[in-house]
């Protein structure tokens, strides 16, 4: 465990009455950011949590003229060994849940390639691509039950960069519900590092459901240390936690 001593002011915490309301709030934040800067660089997440947010962004694109034509995006992670068209790959997820329904240019959407022949070189190139566009301006995160952000599991270093990681048994078990058989679940992934994430100018973490309440509590009120990666977000000057009431139920006050 590495305890981090210095932290800025506490993060902003927004508590909404339901998961739908929390998802709409995050979509509202992204909507405003894109309208203010049509060439914004977004960091995006996968998993069950952001689906409602993406659905709302698609609605705003179709019904309210929200354009992503000049937006660039970078996703947090991808399973190693899954081709982009695999139903459980994160590239496939992003295409079906968001990209295919927007006017965003395919060349502007970046997801790590879990089939790269040289994963270490690919990870370094992914970092370079982020730097070349001036960094991520607005990063969306979820949170794992063990406090992981992206696939940075407990113990990941504070200054870690995009790399290949082994997934914990807890994460593998959690992801098994998306696969037909437990032995199909990938055991490694390529992920942005904590250091990469913390370089985003602004970070929004969305968490919903009672099962995330303890992870949320430790992130906001617990010690800041690498055993709970999401707690490291409190070293960032512009972080917003958007929670539904069940996810916020463990917080004091």
| Catalytic sites, residue numbers | 77, 146, 148, 153
State the number of CA atoms in the 13 A half-sphere of 87 facing the CB.
5
Mapped onto helix, strand or coil, the DSSP state of residue 44 is: strand
The whole-angstrom separation of Cα 84 and Cα 114 is 8
Structure tokens, 18: 């339901």
Structure tokens, 42: 């977004």
Given a contact cutoff of 8 angstroms between Cβ atoms, the answer to whether 206 and 53 are in contact is yes
Q: Element (H or E) spanning 29, and its range? A: helix 19-36
- Among candidates 24, 28, 190, which has minimal Cα distance to 112? 190
Number of other CB atoms surrounding residue 100 within 10 Å: 11
Structure tokens, 34: 């894109």
- Among candidates 41, 96, 43, 93, which has minimal Cα distance to 70? 41
State the number of CA atoms in the 13 A half-sphere of 162 facing the CB.
25
Given a contact cutoff of 8 angstroms between Cβ atoms, the answer to whether 27 and 60 are in contact is yes
Given a contact cutoff of 8 angstroms between Cβ atoms, the answer to whether 158 and 194 are in contact is yes
> Alpha helices, DSSP H only, in 11-140?
19-36, 51-64, 90-97, 119-132
């Amino acid at each position: 465990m590495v305890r981090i001593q210095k932290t800025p002011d506490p993060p902003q915490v927004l508590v909404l009455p339901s998961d739908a309301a929390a998802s709409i709030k995050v979509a509202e934040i992204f909507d405003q950011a894109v309208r203010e800067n049509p060439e914004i660089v977004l960091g995006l997440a996968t998993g069950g949590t952001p689906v409602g947010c993406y659905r709302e962004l698609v609605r705003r694109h179709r019904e309210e003229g929200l354009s992503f034509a000049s937006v660039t995006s970078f996703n947090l992670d991808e399973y190693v060994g899954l081709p982009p068209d695999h139903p459980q790959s994160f590239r496939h997820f992003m295409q079906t849940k968001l990209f295919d329904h927007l006017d965003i240019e395919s060349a502007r959407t970046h997801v790590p390639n879990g089939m790269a022949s040289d994963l270490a070189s690919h990870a370094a190139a992914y970092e370079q691509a982020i730097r070349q566009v001036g960094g991520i301006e607005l990063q969306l995160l979820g949170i794992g039950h063990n406090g992981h952000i992206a696939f940075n599991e407990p113990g990941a270093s504070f200054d870690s960069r995009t790399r290949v990681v082994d997934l914990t048994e807890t994460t593998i078990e959690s992801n098994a519900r998306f696969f037909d058989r437990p032995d199909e679940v990938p055991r490694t992934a390529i992920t942005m590092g904590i250091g990469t994430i913390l370089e985003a100018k602004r970070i929004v973490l969305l968490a919903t459901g009672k099962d995330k309440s303890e992870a949320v509590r430790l992130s906001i009120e617990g010690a800041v240390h690498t055993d709970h990666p999401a707690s490291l977000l409190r070293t960032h000057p512009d972080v917003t936690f958007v929670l539904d009431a069940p996810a916020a139920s463990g917080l004091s006050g």
